[in-house]
Chain A
Amino acid sequence: MKKEISVYFILFAILALLSGVLIGIIASFQFIIPGFFNIIPFIKCRPLHVSLVIAWIFLVSIGGVYYYLPKYCNVSLYSDKLPKIHLWIFILTGISVITSYLLGIFGGREYWEFPPVLAIPVILSWILFGYNYFKTVFTKKDHWPVYLWMWATGIFFFLFTYIESNLWVFPYFREHLIRDITVQWKSNGSLVGSWNMLIYGTAIFLMDRIKEDDSIAKSRLAFVMYFLGLTNLIFNWAHHIYIVPNAPWVRYIGYGISMTELIILGKLIWNWKKDLTKALQDFHILAVRFIVASDVWILLNLTLSIALSIPAINIFTHGTHLTVAHAMGSTIGINTMILIASCLFLIPDVTKVQFNKLEAKFISIGFWIMNGLLFFFWIALILAGYFKSHLVLQDKLSFQDIMLQIRPYIGVIAFTGIGILGAMLMIFLPPVNMIKNYLIKK
């Protein structure tokens, strides 16, 4: 397959991420200053921010799979044309989604706020991706490493759970509020699990390739963890809706399954020193550096996520910024770190050019600034959530007064957001420059 297609996936991904973060910063300032940048009000900024950041996740994950499969997995891609069609569908759908938001035409479903008709090309693109992927990997005769299973799982479950998230178009689901919210958050929870499969598969692939050792990706432990992750993808979503009055056993199953994440947390802590020492040996490799950072963020976010899944804690934190801390910690701290690692591995691999000392230094400084500021950003969200919860339960202040009380924390979030965007620009400038030179030469 021509390598350029993956490069274009990455290029559009970086554009989506930087625009998404910029819109996120505008949205956070709209919390502090009413009427700020009213050309794009909050009602449009929020869906724009979410959709652009999700586009970043998909474009890097998918672009990576299209490149890594034929290059490193001893298979030929079933079709070289389908990735091009996929990219075109993605871009045209993306433009339609952005246009619909800017024109104020909404479907109004949290995280997928575009009109439901645009779900059709999204589903079509995933069918094409899945068809190409499965036709390719089923030609592989030897045992698959765990990342091939994870990518397959991510594609399969994304397709089904995304279709599920659109069931609201049928009155049976839409008109019954409890069923509607339950199904919506069942699918949203599993959708996140699906793209996590694509991303974590990429992380394992990268470590496998960098170390040139596939024993971890074929180990029993890797598969046990994968099946545990898949079980959580299927059943661990009810913590989003503990207070929604559906059948009580929905909550109990969700609570029980979410506690199995303690096994993952336990394994992380048990092997922490050993794994970290091993990883630090390769810390000079830029891609490894971002994967090590994602490991730290996994530890922090998994602890938070397990705590939020306990109903006795969830009852205090639900509907507060503590939930946002978990979402941001996972999306930026874990997912984005891994995906940046994938970009930093893939781009020099395609272009056959390595980062020079100055570029590496630039990326390295960006890495430390991004992680440092993200920590303050995350802590500010936790504190905002804690104080909001406390004030809501006190029941003495109005909503507006509560928001005034937590405004300083939102200020920290907005300003650290600016710094995170700056750090991202430092990280992405050298690889984008590398892509530009490569495409010009071509």
Chain B
Amino acid sequence: MAKKIDESQVRQVAKLSRLDLTDDEVARFSIELSAIVEYIEKLNELDVDSVEPLAHCLPIGNVFRADEIRPSLDTEAALSNAPQRHDEYFKVPKILDDNSGA
């Protein structure tokens, strides 16, 4: 029987998840995720056409507060765990090519 989540689907989901996987991992996750998704399809046994989805178990609404300036995490604290920083910025590799025209 065809696997529920074949290796090309694993590669696609891994790309969306921003996870680099080795070929071995792709093969293994395909088997494991297929078994899990097959189990999850147990949900199809129920007729849920007339049931409202429940995203949250308690009745909650938006919470507003006055738009006032308050103390917040200071820059040094916010940057204190940065893998790389440059002055008051998080430093990352170049995002655009030099000739990208952006």
Q: Are A and B a genuine interacting pair, yes or no?
A: no
B residues apposed to A, CB below 8 Å: none
A residues apposed to B, CB below 8 Å: none
